[in-house]
Amino acid sequence: MDLWQKLDVLGQAAQYDACQGCGTQMHRVRDDIGRWIYPAVRPDGKRVRLLKVLQSNACQNDCAYCAHRSGRDTRRITFQPDELARAFAELAQRGYAEGLFLSSGICGRVDQATERMLATVELVRRRYQFRGYIHLKILPGADEASIAESIKLADRVSVNLEAPSPERLSALSRNKEFERQLLGTLEAANRLRNELGRPVSMTTQFVVGAAGESDREILATATRLYRGLALARAFYSAFQPVPETPLEDHPATPLWREHRLYQADFLLRQYGFAFDDLIFDEEGNLPARADPKLLWALAHPERFPIEVNSASREELLRIPGIGPRSAGRILKRRREGKLRDLTHLGLPKALAERAAPFILLGGKRPAFQPTLWGIA
């Protein structure tokens, strides 16, 4: 198998983002030379084309949802560091890839698998002088020296928790240990980036719906990580069954559940919502019928209507249809004169109509009053 055939297989395999190979299909594209390139957003908000690839799809672990789990009959391939570094450098030099996302299965000792990944990234940085974006997965249980090296080389590092608690993880894997291997590695990464003074961002990912966990459990854990470890992002990946795995007959998680989790997560990170503001159903899940912000607004009629001309930024962010950017725009427009009708908000029509039932403009309800999407 030549270098580019390997890249095809291990780029394709990285759609599962091992180590959390749950099968969610990201919006990937094949570039015009046929390699898998993924659009991604860097920590600074800039969009980049990432080569997302595994160092190896060989793994000794047994995660029940994963296409790369040990014992599954699939072709196992491993890149040597110089092969992968050379392939990436060529794609970068030709303008096909602007960044690298590198993960790996774990075959043999964790430190050996980690060393191969670090050697690849070192070559990319030092031999090929690549200064762009690198997201490096830290394998569960990696030692402190490897974690520190990852932090020095990458712009973003991640350790995937997969599940929100030890009990839920034990339903997915007999090999992985939640507190020591997963959370412990994240905690070590946070401590080391502070000690090294390297402001790399740190993320994690949850497989949603594979272990019977509720949205409440997932978001409670994410909230603890945002507060305790200054995590930049949690990613939520709807479980999709992979043939010939123990969960092949387990129902796929609907994508709307993943979407609701992202909406709730944005409220926690960017809208000033607390975990206790989120509304869950009897099973502890975010209801499908409306987004979490609208549900909160409907459950708190005492907080509305809000006078847009005098509201604080925090109050504006509680209004359905108004986000951090539009709140900033409204505050700016307010300095230029009183806002008297919906068009003065500078919102797209659909969002202005969403906000209308919850606001006052100059002491008056805006003229437009839509029905509340049948859920009031």
- Reported as half-sphere exposure (CB side, CA atoms, 13 A), residue 332 has a value of 7
21 binds ligand SF4 (CB under 6 A): yes
Nearest distance, CB of residue 103 and ligand SF4, angstroms:
8
Judged by beta carbon, residue 11 or residue 292, the one nearer ligand SF4 is: 11
Question: Does the protein bind ligand SF4 through residue 59 (CB under 6 A)?
Answer: yes
Query: Please, what's the b/e burial string for 212-227 (b: 16 or more CB within 10 A of its CB; e: otherwise)?
Result: ebbbbbbbebbbebbe
Select the span of 56-64, 225-233, 240-248, 270-278 touching ligand SF4 (CB under 6 A): 56-64
Smaller CB distance to ligand SF4: residue 66 or 319? 66
Distance of alpha carbon 177 from alpha carbon 161, whole angstroms = 10
- Contact call for residue 116 and ligand SF4 (CB under 6 A): no
The least CB distance from residue 33 to ligand SF4, in Å, is: 27
Q: Which residue, 52 or 68, is less far from ligand SF4 as judged by CB?
A: 68
Task: Provide the minimum distance between the beta carbon of 18 and ligand SF4 in the complex, in angstroms, as a whole number.
Answer: 3
Q: Please tell me the distance from the alpha carbon of residue 202 to that of residue 9, in angstroms, as a whole number.
A: 27
Among 7, 10, 15, 20, binds ligand SF4 (CB under 6 A): 20
Neighbours of 334 (CB within 10 A): 16
Out of 105, 305, 321, 366, the only residue in the binding site for ligand SF4 (CB under 6 A) is 105
C-alpha gyration radius of the chain: 23
Residue 106 — φ and ψ, nearest 5°? Answer: -115, 105
Q: What is the dihedral of CA 205, 209, 211, 212, to 10 degrees?
A: 140
Q: Which is nearer to ligand SF4, 135 or 344 (CB)?
A: 135
Question: 18 or 148: whose CB is closer to ligand SF4?
Answer: 18
| Shortest Cβ 63–ligand SF4 spacing (Å) | 3
Q: Are 186 and 144 in contact (CB under 8 A)?
A: no
∠ Cα 164 168 170 (to 5°): 125
Q: Which amino acid is at 313?
A: R
Nearest approach, Cβ of 169 to ligand SF4 (angstroms)?
11
What is the Cα–Cα distance from 221 to 231, expressed in whole angstroms? 11
Q: Counting contacts by CB under 6 A, is residue 19 touching ligand SF4? A: yes
DSSP state of 375: -
Residues 247-286 interacting with ligand SF4 (rule: CB under 6 A): none
51 forms beta bridges with: 37, 100
Beta 201-208 vs 156-158: how paired, if at all? parallel
Rule CB under 6 A: is residue 237 a binding residue for ligand SF4?
no
Please identify, using beta-carbon distances, which residue of 85 and 161 lies nearer to ligand SF4.
161
Do you know the residue count of the chain? 376
55 vs 285 by CB, closer to ligand SF4: 55
Q: Is 138 an interacting residue with respect to ligand SF4 (CB under 6 A)?
A: no
Distances from the Cα of 233 to the Cα of 4, 78, 79, 268, 292, angstroms:
32, 29, 29, 11, 18
Strands 99-103 and 133-137: parallel
Phi, psi of 162 (to 5 degrees): 70, -45
Question: Could you tell me which stretch among 13-21, 79-87, 307-315, 337-345 binds ligand SF4 (CB under 6 A)?
Answer: 13-21
Please choose, out of 16-24, 315-323, 327-335, 338-346, the segment that lies near ligand SF4 by the rule CB under 6 A.
16-24
Stretch that binds ligand SF4, among 57-65, 189-197, 313-321, 328-336 (CB under 6 A): 57-65
Q: Among residues 90 and 115, whose Cβ is nearest to ligand SF4?
A: 115
User: How many other C-beta atoms lie within 10 A of the C-beta of residue 363?
Assistant: 10
- Per CB under 6 A, contacts with ligand SF4 among 65-84 are 66, 68-69
Taking CB under 6 A as the rule, does residue 120 contact ligand SF4?
Answer: no
Interface with ligand SF4 (CB under 6 A): 18-21, 59, 61, 63, 66, 68-69, 105-106
